[in-house]
Structure formats: C-alpha cells, structure tokens
Amino acid sequence: MRSARRNLAVLVIAQALLGAQMSMIFIIGGLVGQSLAPNPCLATLPLSMIVLGSALTARPLSAFMQRYGRRPGFQLAVLAGASGAGICFLGIGLGSFVLFMAGSLLTGIYMAAQGFYRFAATDTAPPEFQAKAISWVMAGGLLSAIIGPALVRTTAGATAIPFMASYLAIVGLNLIGLWLFMALDIPKPQATETRASAQDRPAGRILRDPVIAVAMICGMVSYALMNLVMTSTPLAMVGCGMSSNDAANVVSAHVLAMFIPSFFTGHLIARFGAPMIVGLGLTILAASGAVALSGVALGQFFAALILLGIGWNFGFIGATAMLTRASPPEERSRIQGLNDLVVFGGVFLASLSSGGLMNCAGVANAAAGWSAVNLAMVPFLVLAGGALIWLVLRPKEA
C-alpha cells in the first residue's frame, strides 16, 4: 500500500497539472482552428487530429510501457506533448493550418498517455483498492479544471496573435512532467511464458469476452459523446453571441463536473457494482442532451455541460472498472491498449463530426447546429444502453 499510495500521489498530481493542457486545448483549439481553417467545416479538425494521434499511438505506447515501464512511457509522452504544443505555436504565428494540425497530431501522444494514468494507478494497488485508485486519479482532474481555464484567461490575449502564449504555457506544463515522473516507482513487467503466450491471443478472441466487449462499448460511447458536445460548446456559444470568457467558464464548470464525482465514484462502484454506475452515467448523458435541446441561454449551456461531465464520470470510470476486473494480469497491458484504441477511435469520429454538425449540416445558425450535435447522441446512447442491459440480463451460467 505504501508503494501504491506514492504512485497514486504522482499520478493525481500529473492528472491535475499536466491534464490542465487538455482543457486548455479544448477551449481554444476550435477557435484557433476556425481562424486558420480555409473552410469553417474544418474548424474542429485540429482537435480531431489530437484524438487521431491518441488512437494511433495508444497500442504502441502500451506495448512500450509493457517492455520498458510506465516511467519512460510517460516521459516520452510529455516530450511529445511539448513538441506538439511548440509546433502549434509556430502554426498560429505563421498562419499555417497544416502546421497547426501537425502539432495537434503530435499532442495526441500525450493524450494517449494521460488515458493510462488510471491503469497505472492499479499496477501496484491491491484488488480492493483498485476502483478507489482509479477514482482518485480521475479526481485529480478537479484541479486541472481550475488550472486550465485560468491559464487560458491569463494567456489568451498576452500576444498580438491570440492564444500563442497559451501554447507556450502548454510546453511548460509538459516539461514539468519530465521531472514529476522521476518520482514514479512502478516495476517493469517481467516477461513469463504465460504472459508471452497470452499476448499471442488475437484481438478477436479478446473482444468475444462479453464483459470486455460491453465495457469497451460503454467507455467509448461515454467518452465520444462527451467529446462531441464539449468540442462544439465554444463554437456554439460564440456563435450564439456569447464571449470566449463565457465559453471558458462553461467548459471549466464542465471539467469540474467531470472530476468532482470521482471522490465517491469508487465507493458507489464498490457498493452497487460497475454496471449499475455505467447505466446511471448513460442516463445522465441523455439528460444532458435533453437540457441542451431546450434552449441556448447561458444557464442552459451551464446545466447541459455539468450534466455531461457527471454522466461521463460515471460512464467512463464504471466502464474502466469493468474492464480492469475482467482483464487477467498477464493480458492487462494488451487489453488496455486495445481498449484505448477503440475508445479514442470513437472519440476521433465524434470530434471529426462535431465541426461538420455545427457548421456544415445544412443548418441555418449556431443554435440549429447545437441541436444537431445533441440529437446525434441518441443512437449511440441506445447502442451502449442496449449492450449493458444485454450483459446484465444474460444467464449467469453464460
């Protein structure tokens, strides 16, 4: 437990400090994209490139950590994050949309690594502490919800070209990560014959495990829908006549709602079971969409995004707990990499669709685009909810 608590402290700080860059990027990325893109339909393409970079590198990064350990993997990722932010800085300064997208793609490596913080917290934790460890790591995002938007408000207008200083701040956050991860003490996995043979098992066989498959579906849907709506929010709010500071405040409230429940999500999972908490999360996501469809006043944006954050927390952490419990130790790294490939693949498609739904879906104005974004949630909630109900109702002997 001493080792588990030490590693947990490092990962909570990483989630809080380094994770602030993700809230910064999702506040300003679409606005920068809109200013640089040759077509408004492509405004959120740089954000999609971040998710694509994450999807493409999740499995290789997981394999790298399996071979060399968590510490080198996380340090490699923060170097990539610093490099990506630096390239974005140059892209803004030169007015190059292509360069801005290239930096965003590289930033995706950091995003993939941040997704592994929750898994790393369980590496040295006893089974009864794992769900709580996941929750505490996610709770670190509470501070990131304060730090990220505050940095945006401080840096957005600090240069003649808006948001250039914000990307310099992101470079600095990643460089701090190099020092922070020196304190991480997770033993490198030892190769065994059992582990080696398990890693040869094809992905198709892994995905035929009902619990693993449903956990991946629910995790993917929870994360993808959260990303779809959050990515559109600054564009929708500015398009409806509100300021970028209003958008930053709403996104800040949203990120707080994503992570505040983490203080008790682990206890709820232990008390009621992960499937019940996932189902509750999907229900709250549906409620978020209903509030968003009711109007475009500032209060409705706040309410919809707060519900979106809470729904994501229950759905995603619950799905992660389901996946962790269904993963044998010798297969854990392989399954985690496959899971994040599925999750971030779905998030990439959601992010890619966000700008198109907002600006190029045949809608007349930002309010209509915002409605289109939220209506797009419906079929995916039906998919995840149906899969979860099927899993719960299966005969126990199956």
Domain boundaries, the chain: 2-184+201-393
Q: What CA–CA distance (Å, rounded) separates 7 from 74?
A: 13
Q: Which helix (H) or strand (E) covers residue 169, if one does? A: helix 164-180
Distances (CA, A) of 20 to 15, 73, 182: 8, 19, 20
CB 258 within 8 A of CB 318: no
What residues contact 214, with CB distance under 8 A and at least 6 apart?
Answer: 322, 387, 388, 390, 391
| Residue 39 φ/ψ, nearest 5 degrees | -140, 130
pLDDT in tens, the chain (398 residues): 777 888 889 999 999 999 999 889 988 888 898 889 888 778 778 888 998 898 888 888 888 988 888 999 999 999 999 999 999 999 999 999 999 999 999 999 999 899 888 788 888 777 777 777 877 887 787 788 789 888 988 998 888 898 999 999 999 999 999 999 999 888 876 654 344 444 556 777 777 889 999 999 999 999 999 989 988 888 889 888 888 788 888 988 998 898 888 778 888 998 899 999 999 999 999 999 999 999 999 999 999 999 999 999 999 989 988 988 887 777 777 787 788 778 877 888 887 777 778 777 555 688 888 999 999 999 999 999 999 999 988 876 54
CB 138 within 8 A of CB 259: yes
CB 259 within 8 A of CB 139: yes
Closest CA to 340 of 30, 120, 39, 16: 120
Tokens of 184: 């991480």
CB 62 within 8 A of CB 334: yes
CATH number of 2-184+201-393: 1.20.1250.20
